[in-house]
Amino acid sequence: MQSIEYRYMHDPLIKALVDSLEHHINALQLTPSEIRECAMLATIRYEQRRPPQGIMVQNWHIRPTVRRFVKPRSGLPKAEERSDDA
């Protein structure tokens, strides 16, 4: 697993999120504990609102940066073969 520092330097999405959090810490005068608590609450609320997920995640739902490390199982449709109503 890559360190968050490595991901910050090489993943634009992670960099944007960290920079945004840092901006809000400064602008709102939040403590590190408060920002961690807010991030945890946001993830909890997100998980509670999502529809239930199965144990297996099909590879077309995985971010492209992760997809290259996942070997598709035989019998599953490839991303370009899936229908939008699946």
Per-residue pLDDT for 38 more than 90? yes
The answer to whether residue 56 is domain-embedded is: yes
Tens of pLDDT, residues 46-71? 999 988 776 655 555 555 555 555 55
**What percent of the chain lies above the pLDDT cut of 70?**
62
The residue type at 84: D
| CA neighbours closer than 13 Å in the CB half-sphere of residue 9 | 4
Structural domain count of the chain: 1
pTM of the predicted model as reported, rounded to 2 decimal places = 0.52
Report the distance separating Cα 76 and Cα 60, nearest Å.
10
The answer to whether residue 82 is domain-embedded is: no
Q: Are 22 and 29 in contact (CB under 8 A)?
A: no
Report the distance separating Cα 27 and Cα 42, nearest Å.
19
**What percent of the chain lies above the pLDDT cut of 90?**
47
Q: What is the pLDDT of residue 86?
A: 47
Residue span of the structural domain in which 30 resides: 4-72
Average pLDDT over residues 26-46: 93
